[in-house]
Structure 1
Amino acid sequence: MQTQLKCTNGSRPRILFAEDSDTVRLVTAALLRRMGCDVDAVEHGEEALEQVRTQTYDLVLLDIEMPVMDGMIAAREIRALGGCAARTPLMALSAYLADWHKGGNWHECFDMALPKPAGRSELQSAIQKILR
């Protein structure tokens, strides 16, 4: 049996995942659900921002390169909301992180970053760490 992710209070983590690739969005959302998470999946940063304005999440996962509004802009906008939304942990998931790690740009808005594709154990470990 696989270990299920839990928040510190024992509840199922509520995760918002923004990813423009339909395939990656569907596969990753299904993986997160199998890990024990409740997942809302959206196509771009603007949709993520709207969700965060009306819903409470334990974690927001954002791809960096998305149409309409990219992950960096969405992360900045979420932080600018103030209150509970601004304190929500943000994690970047991107194929472009190799370049980002050199410059450290993701540290401006994100609590953590993982390169894509992230394996199940790597993703689960990172989420558990950020939830604690």
Structure 2
Amino acid sequence: MQTQLKCPDGSRPRILFAEDSDTVRLITAALLRRMGCDVDAVEHGEEALDLASRQAYDLVLLDIEMPVMDGMIAAREIRALGGGAARTPLMALSAYLADWHKGGHWHECFDMALPKPAGRSELQLAIQKILR
């Protein structure tokens, strides 16, 4: 039996996930749901920003390279919203994380970063850490 993710208050985590690849978005959203999360999955950063401005989330997962609005810009804009949205933990997902880590820029906007594709256990452990 799979361990279900929970917020500190015992509720199901609400996660906003932005990823431009249809396949990765569908698979990752399904994986998050199997982990016990409520997931809103969108195609790019502009859609993520729109939802983050209207709804509260326990975590926002953002791919870095997306059309329309990339993950870095979306993260900055979510932080700029103020209020609860600005305090929402942000996690970056990137296939180019090794190069990205060298620059250290992800620390400016994100609480955590994971390489893509992230495995189930790696993703679950990272989310558990952020939700504490």
- The TM-score normalised by the length of structure 1 is 0.99
| Deviation readout 1:83-110 (Å, 9 max, x if unpaired) | 0000000000110111111111100000
Q: Which runs of 5+ in 2 are unaligned?
A: none
User: Where in structure 1 do 4 or more consecutive aligned residues deviate above 4 Å?
Assistant: none
C-alpha separation in 1, matches of 2:102 and 2:54: 35
SS in 1 for 2:62: strand
Per the TM alignment, residue 77 of structure 1 is displaced from its structure 2 partner at its CA by 0.2
Rounded to whole Å, the distance in 1 between the matches of 2:16 and 2:96 is 20
1:49 is matched with 49
Aligned partners of 2:96 and 2:69: how far apart in 1?
A: 16
For residues 57-83 of structure 1, the C-alpha deviation after alignment (integer angstroms, 9 at most, x for no partner) is: 000000000000000000000000000
Deviation at 1:116, TM superposition (A): 0.3
2:81 and 2:107 mapped to 1: Cα distance? 18
User: What does residue 108 of structure 2 align with?
Assistant: 108
How many residue pairs get matched? 132
- Superposition CA RMSD, Å: 0.4
Deviation at 1:31, TM superposition (A): 0.1
More moved, 93-102 vs 19-28: 93-102
Q: Could you tell me which residue of structure 1 aligns to residue 59 of structure 2? A: 59
Task: Find the aligned partners of 1:105 and 1:74 in 2 and give their Cα distance.
Answer: 14
DSSP 3-state at the match of 2:113: strand
